[in-house]
Amino acid sequence: MGDGRAVAGGGGGGGSNRPAWLQQYDLVGKIGEGTYGLVFLAKTKLRKSCIAIKKFKQSKDGDGVSPTAIREIMLLREISQENVVKLVNVHINHADMSLYLAFDYADHDLYEIIRYHREKLNQPINQYTVKSLLWQLLNGLNYLHSNWIIHRDLKPSNILVMGEGEEQGVVKIADFGLARIYQAPLKPLSDNGVVVTIWYRAPELLLGGKHYTSAVDMWAVGCIFAELLTLKPLFQGAEVKGTPNPFQADQLDKIFKVLGNPNPEKWPTLSYLPHYQSDQHHIQTVKYESSCLHSYVHLALKSPAYDLLSKMLEYFRIDPLPGRNALVPIQPGEKIINYPARPVDTSTDFEGTTSIQPPQPVSAAVAIPGSVAASSVVPPRAVPRPISMIGMQRMPPASMAAFNIASQAGIGGLNPGGIPIQRGAAAQGHPQQLRRKDPGMGMQNTGYPQQKRRF
Ligand SMILES: Nc1ncnc2c1ncn2[C@@H]1O[C@H](COP(=O)(O)OP(=O)(O)OP(=O)(O)O)[C@@H](O)[C@H]1O
């Protein structure tokens, strides 16, 4: 963990009393803002490698970083798997007790990839890429769940995808475990402009369930999968704000409209959920059509993608097989999309003060295309290796306990490459599905709130 000793000058931004650890980075700019604070892009001075630094807000009561949080963070440092973003360093500024977590940097995230297809390319994401993204997401989640970590805030912006380089097209799950460290937003939502999204929230949480499992992550994965296919959120409910009540009638309504009425026959634990009883009017009196999920996602009832959405099983074993580089299709002749680099606001420094430099792309190597011209054709040697489905290992029995994605989703065999599975950190608590500040940089409002987050 970095120390908080202050030195005069140096570092990457304004201010004169900079902590010593900051000297190892050159700050490039701000890349986003979430529930817990700001995210910056920095480069290490030594190796010039890109690092995402997440600065956590001061806690409300000003008592700094709790020992529990520190313990949890140290556990997160032990987590290591290809599809989970690596926490590379932890720094504490003793002067103001602010916390900085340094992660490997990813050029893209699913939110931006989906938005790029919807708004710029006007074309669906190719099947190979959808499948590879989804497979890797499940692979990373399998690892987290096997380590008793439930993410609880899976959504497209938390699913990162690596840009050019050795790891191009590799999915990295971000933000795992953080909801546990910082259990609640530190400021009222209206104060910092962060918007909550409930679109990926599982119905058991919306119905007041407290003892939830890794199934809440699987629900979010299903929603993300549907969004990758259709380029729009599956269940876009409007949230009733200002109340700690988890019951969100509109979100549940959106879900039941697609999936049909819930009933204890299909869902045996349903009647134990607090809001199923207390809000019977909303839930039990409305008669929804039976499930029409397949038509929402424009998939035939018998299509493999639909089968996965409802059963999460067969899809990955048929052509096109998923690959490690999700962005470069395996078949020669298929188009490659050059996704734009993440925008960086170079006018904001670590202290939050601003200068006059305009936002810039991170790397000149990544084109910032405005149209389909951003596509090119896969040269034969760019063909990535597929993920082998043969010889995939089962989870060791010890890891197949209650909170195992594989057992929940029926994908016990999906553990390619013999990923070492460890058990360790437990991560549970309140789900936080909050969204970043609207940076108001001229995005059009098309009823898709997340799009406002970029500058
Ligand atoms: N390691 C990283 N590399 C590149 N970008 C990242 C990295 N981690 C986070 N980001 C980006 O920074 C932005 C803010 O992320 P952050 O996790 O703080 O907020 P969020 O996911 O929008 O909201 P929440 O805090 O509720 O999860 C997002 O666009 C996210 O994709």
Per-residue pLDDT tens digits for 149-188: 888 889 999 999 999 999 999 999 998 766 565 544 433 3
Q: Is 46 found in the same domain as 157?
A: no
Residues with Cβ within 8 Å of residue 393, at least 6 apart in sequence: 415, 416, 418, 419
Q: What are residue 323's DSSP bridge partners? A: 386
DSSP 8-state symbol, 343: E
Among residues 107, 109, 153, 438, the one annotated as catalytic is 153
What is the distance in A from the centroid of ligand 1 to the CA of 217?
A: 17
Atom 12 of ligand 1, residue of closest alpha carbon: 32
DSSP 17: E
Kindly state whether residues 194 and 161 are assigned to the same domain.
yes
Lowest mean pLDDT among 10-14, 39-43, 219-223: 10-14
Average pLDDT, whole number, for the chain?
69
User: Left (φ > 0), alpha (ψ -120 to 50) or beta: where does 296 sit?
Assistant: alpha
Alpha carbons 2 and 360: distance in angstroms, whole number: 29
**274 and 209 share a domain?**
yes
Same structural domain, 137 and 93: no
Give the pLDDT mean for 391-411: 29
Q: Is the pLDDT of residue 115 over 90?
A: yes
Find, among 288, 199, 233, the residue nearest to 446 by Cα.
Answer: 233
Q: Which residue ranges have their beta carbon within 6 Å of ligand 1?
A: 31-32, 34-36, 39, 52, 85, 103-106, 109, 153, 157-158, 160, 174-175, 434-436
Specify the 3-state DSSP secondary structure of 171.
strand
Banded model confidence at residue 357, pLDDT cuts 50, 70, 90: very low
Q: Which of 31-35, 270-274, 304-308, 320-324 has the lowest mean pLDDT?
A: 304-308
| Residue-level pLDDT at 407 | 29
- Residue 182: CATH number of its domain: 1.10.510.10
Residues 74, 182 within the same domain: no
Could you list the residue range(s) of the whole structural domain that residue 41 is in? 4-106
Label residue 17 by pLDDT band (50, 70, 90).
low
Residue 453: inside a domain = no
Please give the tally of structural domains in the chain: 2
Same domain flag for 387 and 408: yes
Lowest mean pLDDT among 53-57, 93-97, 142-146, 308-312: 308-312
- Please name which of 38, 35, 70, 63 lies closest in space to residue 187, comparing C-alpha atoms: 35
Does the active-site annotation cover 307? no
CA within 13 Å, CB half, 180 = 20
Confidence of residue 274 (pLDDT cuts 50, 70, 90): confident
Question: Where is the domain boundary, 68, 88, 106?
Answer: 106
Residue 320: asked if its preceding bond is cis (omega within 30°), the reply is: yes
Candidates 30, 33, 39: which one to mutate for ligand 1, based on the most atoms within 8 Å of Cβ?
39
Q: Give the number of other Cβ atoms within 10 Å of residue 105's Cβ.
A: 24
Whole-number percent of the chain with pLDDT over 70 = 57
Please give the C-alpha separations between residue 73 and each of 13, 99, 283, 350, in angstroms, as whole numbers: 26, 11, 40, 21
Cα–ligand 1 centroid distance for 72 (angstroms): 19
Flag whether pLDDT at 345 surpasses 80. yes
* 34 Cα–ligand 1 center, Å: 6
For 245-273, write each residue's pLDDT tens digit.
Answer: 677 888 988 898 888 878 787 777 777 77
**What CATH number does the domain containing 31 carry?**
3.30.200.20
Say if the ipTM goes beyond 0.90: yes
Tokens of 234: 């599956």
The residue with greater pLDDT, 349 or 420, is 349
pTM for the complete prediction? 0.70
Measure CA 133 to chain center. Answer: 12
**Residue 101 amino acid letter:** L
Q: Indicate whether 389 belongs to any domain.
A: yes
Q: Of 102, 224, 99, nearest to 151 (Cα)?
A: 224
The answer on 198 and 171 residing in a single domain is: yes
Gap between the Cα atoms of 346 and 31, Å rounded: 9
pLDDT at 249: 82
Output the CA 299–ligand 1 centroid distance in Å. 31
CA angle, 368 then 132 then 320, to 5°:
110
